[in-house]
Amino acid sequence: AYEIPKRDWSSDVCSSDLRLPAIPGSVPDLRNLPMGCRFSDRCPLADETCRSTDPALATLPDGRRVACLKVPT
């Protein structure tokens, strides 16, 4: 995940100088998680599918794992 990130926010994290950047939006209530992707309210690529469908964890050809409906697997 640190070498070639697949998501925008992971690119921000990996390019930081050990300080985590702020991710816009709010953290979901862990007692009442929303439907769909847990990052859908904070992701600039999210659409209605992201808000209604839980993304499956997929393994990419290079062995990394990602749970995002927008990343081709």
| Per-residue pLDDT tens digits for 25-66 | 888 888 998 899 988 988 889 999 999 999 999 999 999 999
The pLDDT assigned to 1 comes to: 45
Q: What φ, ψ does residue 8 adopt, rounded to 5°? A: -55, -45
The pLDDT assigned to 27 comes to: 82
The pLDDT assigned to 57 comes to: 94
pTM equals: 0.61
* Other beta carbons less than 10 A from residue 68's beta carbon: 20
